[in-house]
Structure 1
Amino acid sequence: MADGVNEAIGKIVENLTENASNSTEKVPATPEGMAVAYGSLVVMALFPIFFGSVRSVQHHKEQKKSGEKPDTMTQKDAALFPLIASAALFGLYIFFQIFSKEYINLLLTGYFFFLGVLALCHLISPVISSLVPAAIPNIPFHLHFKQGGPEGEADLINYRFTSHDVVCLVFCSVVGAWYLLKKHWIANNLFGMAFAINGVELLHLNNVVTGCILLCGLFVYDIFWVFGTNVMVTVAKSFEAPIKLVFPQDLLERGLSASNFAMLGLGDIVIPGIFIALLLRFDESLKRKSNTYFNVTFAAYFLGLMATIFVMHVFKHAQPALLYLVPACLGAPFALALLKGDIKALFQYEDHPSDKNESETEVKTEAKKDK
């Protein structure tokens, strides 16, 4: 009888274990679920490029007014970038092979918590300021920390902020705590979108040639690391940080607790995005009251992204998105420039002309005045 009881208990434990393992398995993606996931990823990719590009134009105008000349990527930097990115990617892959990914991701989580809070603050500070009731005063503060004495001083911290910025910081810190504790996909996407918009806004390519070198180099980089090795896919799946946008394919079945994710790396948004933002600034320089180059290239990016998703769905294999996005983002504006006769103006345009170019422009202007 005791044997019968033990056997019965064993079967119960076995059934409970089997049910528990089944409950933790990923729900297979349905066609509807995949459509929702990939459609959402496309929208989330287009949003940062559009708004980041608009903000980059405003940022560029502010720099011109202030006379500030920011650090821009040189052609040498653009050529070296794929090599540096490859070294970083392979280094992460080796780390994940040698050390426990839990400890690595714990360190990265803390690092991206601070970066994410700052990025989100920069993005939504104007929105929060507009929502704060007028009864709450906007008190300015100045945090100034200097090093040295009367013989010479150096600023270590020189930061101005307001009480509204403090409210914004508290709100963003709550989102950061949510990400830190739960790693929820919505919190991940809020940080990822903030990184992407800030990247497109603040990372300026100075001219089209630099953009071509960067995009072509990363075109080769993406193809090699996705098709040539398993490094890119392994790191993407192991790396728990908001450097990718994710959306659940089982959202319709499991709601906000879904776990079967489709993903898109931020590099596939920011890298083409900074080139598209450059084209919007080029449109502004032409003063034609139309953003033709931006609109055409933005549409080409959308088609390239759709091609990536289609091929990935058909072949059931991860795709290097830049394989489709780079030809689309380079081919569309160049073809348009040839048709409109703007190819020379496109390649001569610079956000921040060098001193040599400025002096040449001044000489030409003086010559025209003399005539």
Structure 2
Amino acid sequence: LAFFLLQLVSGGVLLVERGKCKFTKKAKLAEAAGASGILIINSGTSFTRWSARRTKRSLTYTYPQFSCPKMQAKLCVRFLQLILGVQLYSPDRPVVDTAEVFLWLMAVGTVLCASYWSAWSAREAVTEQEKLLKDGHEVSLTVEGGGSSGIVDINVISAMMFVVVASCFLIMLYKLMSAWFIDLLVVIFCIGGVEGLQTCLVAILSRWFTSAAGSFVKVPFFGAISYLTMAVSPFCVVFAVLWAIYRQFPYAWIAQDILGIALIVTVIQIVRVPNLKVGSVLLSCAFLYDIFWVFVSKSLFHESVMIAVARGDNTDEDGVPMLLKIPRMFDPWGGYSIIGFGDILLPGLVVAFAMRYDWAGKKSLRCGYFLWSASAYGTGLLITYVALNLMDGHGQPALLYIVPFTLGTLMSLGWKRGELRNLWFKGEPERVCTHQGYLQMAKPPPAAAAHDD
């Protein structure tokens, strides 16, 4: 501090900044205001390590810099006022973050699109089975189509294992977080993004290019692949590779969001919750997981593990790639508003289940469960952002607010309508099995067959 003051004596003005933002943004604001020095006051106590990670960037600026924790800030500023003129500079943040509004729309829109695709696929599978039964073919009566259609139904055990696997993966990210590990995550994300983007594009384009979608060719190690898939795959690969190379550019977040949304939609279409019991176990485990690694982990690791991983600490990145993000457009402090894949994917599985249930029972939007569960998800996410702003930007576990709204709405409606048992165990509404008539028409009665003999 003494060396810092000696450099400021000739300048006469000290610029004091308060707030949380990137070091580069602070330096640019200070330089634009004509400060002879910058004093950065951090709201936490572990500012020394934070400042050390930004050392390479801070050396590009010639004016002196000094950092101190918030606890020492008042004493430091009072001392400086005795010998220098101190100018307090702290631009206000906007009341409503436009980036959070668009991020909310992206998350809710992703859940709606994924739910519609999941319900449409389930209905197509049921229609195909009924057609085969009507023609007299012996087929399985499983509605979802099983493994032949690539659909995976999770069970209670796999839902409970989510906490263990996700926690181990999060600790690995926290302990191994570095530049090379981020590169590894980028490669993994690109592979998943290519698969998701390819699946979405093929599903959309197959309506116009039916002949290309229905024609297949055998490819070594991959099996039968349609011509449409082969035509779309190079574009998806190039798109992901270009994002990986230029991911630090200002507009690279657009490509990251496209890949992330395509991946989430594909996973919700493939992985399905068979009933509300499994969905409740899954979201309850995710609820506890989110709270523990955001709040409780501070007492064990001296910082929030979830937030540290999301920020991409110890790297030059703005965070891990497994999240959607939008830059804060009208915020003078800059930065990104983000949401993790799990905050969209896990509730989206339950919302998609509600839509499949409505379509199977031919329920209207008002009498069904999808509209109410989707509204509950949107409300929970909205309250998450409200809490985030009320808590002065401190990270909040989104599932803390989303899970009670989503599960509470489905269970309350199911209990009120007398369908909670079907929702909880069967996952299907009560309906008449029409295939029995087809089977009776295809086979003669046993008595008649004996008489003929």
Q: TM-score range by the shorter chain?
A: 0.7 to 0.9
Residue from 148, 158, 163 that aligns with 1:82: 163
**Equivalent residue, structure 2, for 1:167:** 231
Q: Which amino acid aligns with 1:95?
A: L
RMSD: 3.4
**Equivalent residue, structure 2, for 1:311:** 387
TM-aligned CA distance change 1:158 to 1:28, over 3 Å? farther
**Equivalent residue, structure 2, for 1:30:** 93
Contact in 2 for aligned 1:63/1:69 (Cα 8 Å): no
Provide the rounded CA distance (Å) in 2 between the counterparts of 1:126 and 1:143: 20
- The count of aligned residue pairs is 319
**Structure 1, unaligned stretches of length 5 or more?**
1-10, 146-155, 352-360, 367-371
SS in 1 for 2:337: strand
Contact in 2 for aligned 1:75/1:213 (Cα 8 Å): yes
Provide the rounded CA distance (Å) in 1 between the counterparts of 2:356 and 2:63: 55
Q: Where is the helix percentage greater, Structure 1 or Structure 2? A: 1
Shift of 1:305: 0.5
The alignment-based identity, stated in percent, is 27
- Greater shift, 57-66 or 305-314, is seen at 57-66
| 1:36-47 correspondence runs (5 A) | 36-47=98-109
**Equivalent residue, structure 2, for 1:290:** 365
Residue from 114, 125, 133 that aligns with 1:52: 114
Shift of 1:138: 7.5
**Equivalent residue, structure 2, for 1:179:** 243
Matched, 1:111 2:188: yes
Contact in 2 for aligned 1:211/1:275 (Cα 8 Å): yes
Contact in 1 for aligned 2:189/2:322 (Cα 8 Å): no
SS in 2 for 1:40: helix
Residues 99-148 of structure 1 deviation map (CA, whole Å, 9 limit, x = unaligned):
xx11111122222222211211111224445678x9x9889441244xxx
Residue from 57, 61, 77 that aligns with 1:18: 61
Residues 266-312 of structure 1 deviation map (CA, whole Å, 9 limit, x = unaligned):
10000000011111111122223436211001101111011110111
**Equivalent residue, structure 1, for 2:447:** none
Q: Which amino acid aligns with 1:87?
A: C
Provide the rounded CA distance (Å) in 2 between the counterparts of 1:139 and 1:86: 42
Residue from 320, 341, 352 that aligns with 2:418: 341
Contact in 2 for aligned 1:305/1:321 (Cα 8 Å): yes
Q: Which amino acid aligns with 2:404?
A: P
Provide the rounded CA distance (Å) in 1 between the counterparts of 2:198 and 2:218: 17
SS in 1 for 2:146: coil
Residue from 219, 234, 241 that aligns with 2:308: 234
TM-aligned CA distance change 1:195 to 1:129, over 3 Å? same
Residues 292-351 of structure 1 deviation map (CA, whole Å, 9 limit, x = unaligned):
211001101111011110111001210000100000001111111222222222223236
Q: Which amino acid aligns with 2:323?
A: K
Provide the rounded CA distance (Å) in 1 between the counterparts of 2:216 and 2:415: 52
Matched, 1:244 2:320: no
TM-aligned CA distance change 1:28 to 1:346, over 3 Å? farther
**Equivalent residue, structure 1, for 2:275:** 207
**Equivalent residue, structure 1, for 2:73:** none
**Equivalent residue, structure 2, for 1:271:** 346
Q: Whose relative contact order is higher, 1 or 2, with alpha carbons under 8 Å and at least 6 apart? A: 1
Which structure has the greater CA radius of gyration?
2
**Equivalent residue, structure 1, for 2:223:** 158
Shift of 1:88: 1.1
